[in-house]
Amino acid sequence: MLRLTIYIYLISVVQPLASKAQPFNWANGGGQPGRFGWINLQGPTSDSLLWTHVRPGLFGMPAYTEGNRMVTMRFLSLTNAPVECYELRTGLTLWSVDITGGTGRSLPVGLRNGRVFVVRYTESQNDSLIALDVQNGNRLWASPVRVNPYITTSATFDSAGQMYIEGNGVIYRINPITGASNWQINTIPFASGGGEMSIHPPSHTGYTHEQIGGISYLWATDLSTGIKKYNHIITDTYPGGPLPQAPLMVGPTGIIFVHKQGDNISAFSDDGVRLQLLWETPIMGSAPFSQPCLGPSGDVYVPSGGRVLRLNPTTGAPIDSSPIIASNPDLFQMRASTDAEGTVFVTNGENAVYSFTPNLQFRWMHYVPNVNTCAPVFGTDGIVVVSGGGVIKAFAPPQLSSTIIENDRPNWRVFPNPATEPPILWVDDAREGAEYTLFDVGGRVITSGPVHQGSNILNWGVAPPGLYHLVFWDGWQRRTAKIMRIPNTY
């Protein structure tokens, strides 16, 4: 009866908000045509869970939103990975479709104007492209073109809704209504996912990062004609570094940012006649499949050595740095987004989503297992969704989070506190997917794990005496507590 009451309450508070919703559509990796990861809405100010969806799956995959719909792939195996659609505000599953007949993965690559674009992904270099109705999962068309995406690939859409997607050595412009190709251009993409096109809508220009004879090039393409206009060599500051494995991004002002993974971040301008190098900033470590982002004032957020760096958009000089947020700093799969306040949201490619102030001071962190290549994805009202292994979580912005806190929840307590030995978290009732994280005062994770009904030992290992912050989700709502570790005087 209690769970039924809670469900009815959630519907009652969500439905009135629908008419006042602030719409935003996250159509591709990076959200915008330029893939720069910024939205003009306020995002969550804390790890205020709107909902948690627990369902089998090995790791998190990229997700897309439109209106009150969220789409992603649920990866169970190489031949069992359906594309699924969820209600954005409740997390309810609306439909699940396998377009491969049990022979591959159903890889969504974009969501635009009520159509979910899905690749029958078999890594055959000859995969098909399907469009599904976002309302019910019904097939709308199968394109005659054959594509060759990487598993982190996403399509791009111009202001008219035309779709651009990488094929087998080509980029296609696809009519979203029929699936037919308007034009195609030859491209020489990097081997593992860095060949997608990014678009600057005002100039109707698309940009690709290609390699020719082992040399990296930035190309500009006229989207009206499909004609490649001009290119610029991207300097290889440290030869032998890892190849790019994520697309470039184009800011609102038309500045193009190219990420060379373990090499550098480069910025280019385009005056309509040629590309010009503005600056280049070396970075540290390998950051495969990373997605940098821009802040509302143009600041550039990039990965380096397990940290997030904030770069000056005019000079490329590092301004601020986050703490290290990856257990393996030399292999850091950062994927980042920012909101209207400049708040930075980052998944670390491992097991967490972090939030930082614009100058990269720690705000909050939430445990999401095997987050892999899912960025913090924004939806209507500033809701942020993150997909992980066996779980999808949605975080509410302030205007929603204040409405979903429930009374009459199960009791819990932490004891002893203060303590010399690991304290006990006692929870009278915990739902599937309940979990905790223990932070130090600097925001670093000390320990984390599942929460079970009854006794849960918070094993803080060799952490020194001091103040710690406990954050846990009992399956009903988020809880917090301060815990003090005191020296053992015996």
Please write the tens of the pLDDT for every residue from 134-189: 999 999 999 999 888 888 889 999 999 999 998 878 899 999 999 999 999 988 87
Number of neighbouring beta carbons within 10 Å of residue 6: 16
Domain 22-403 = CATH 2.130.10.10: yes
Cis peptide before 416 (omega within 30 of 0): yes
Cα–Cα dist 445/469, whole Å:
10
Cis peptide before 418 (omega within 30 of 0): yes
Which structure tokens are listed for 48?
A: 């205020």
Domain boundaries, the chain: 22-403, 409-485
* Spatial CB neighbours of 144, under 8 Å, sequence gap ≥ 6: 179, 180, 181
Which structure tokens are listed for 420?
A: 């010399």
* Spatial CB neighbours of 338, under 8 Å, sequence gap ≥ 6: 37, 38, 39, 293, 294, 295, 296, 301, 344, 345, 358
- Is the pLDDT confidence value at 400 over 60? yes
- Is the pLDDT confidence value at 406 over 60? no
Is 468 exposed, middle or buried, given 0-12, 13-18 or 19+ CB atoms closer than 10 A?
A: buried
Task: Tell me how far CA of residue 280 lies from CA of 68, 195, 242, 259, in angstroms.
Answer: 40, 21, 17, 10
Apex CA 59: angle with CA 45 and CA 88, to 5°?
45
Look at residue 243 in the predicted model and tell me its pLDDT.
Answer: 64
Query: Which range has the top average pLDDT, 241-250, 286-295, 309-318, 430-439?
Result: 309-318
Please write the tens of the pLDDT for every residue from 216-240: 889 999 999 999 999 999 876 655 5
CA proximity to 410, closest of 475, 314, 490? 475
Which structure tokens are listed for 429?
A: 């009732």
Cα–Cα dist 302/341, whole Å:
18
What residue has token string 């988020």? 478
Give the range among 85-99, 108-122, 186-200, 289-303 with minimum mean pLDDT. 186-200
Please write the tens of the pLDDT for every residue from 87-105: 998 888 999 999 999 999 9
- Is the pLDDT confidence value at 311 over 80? yes
* Spatial CB neighbours of 58, under 8 Å, sequence gap ≥ 6: 75, 76, 77, 370, 389, 390
Q: pTM for the whole thing?
A: 0.81
Cα–Cα dist 290/109, whole Å:
17
- DSSP string covering 346-413, please? EE-SSSEEEEE-TT--EEEEEE-TT-TT---EE-GGG-EEEEETTEEEEE--HHHHHHH--SSPPPEE
What residue has token string 């804390």? 46
Residue 299: which pLDDT band, with cuts at 50, 70 and 90?
very high
Look at residue 96 in the predicted model and tell me its pLDDT.
Answer: 96
**Phi, psi of 364, rounded to the nearest 5 degrees:** -160, 165
Residue 386: which pLDDT band, with cuts at 50, 70 and 90?
very high
Look at residue 85 in the predicted model and tell me its pLDDT.
Answer: 96
- Is the pLDDT confidence value at 407 over 60? no
Cα–Cα dist 91/231, whole Å:
44
- Is the pLDDT confidence value at 83 over 60? yes
Residue 163, strand partner residues: 157, 174
Look at residue 108 in the predicted model and tell me its pLDDT.
Answer: 97
**Could you tell me which CATH class the domain 409-485 is placed in?**
mainly beta
Q: Which helix (H) or strand (E) holds 466?
A: strand 466-473
Task: Tell me how far CA of residue 216 lies from CA of 200, 209, 279, in angstroms.
Answer: 21, 7, 16
Tell me, yes or no, if the two domains 22-403 and 409-485 fold the same way. no
Which structure tokens are listed for 345?
A: 């949201």
Cα–Cα dist 95/92, whole Å:
9
Look at residue 260 in the predicted model and tell me its pLDDT.
Answer: 77
* Spatial CB neighbours of 474, under 8 Å, sequence gap ≥ 6: 409, 410, 412, 427, 429, 430, 431, 434, 451
Of residues 365 and 16, the one with the higher pLDDT is: 365
How long, in residues, is the chain?
490
Look at residue 5 in the predicted model and tell me its pLDDT.
Answer: 35
Average pLDDT score over residue span 262-277: 90
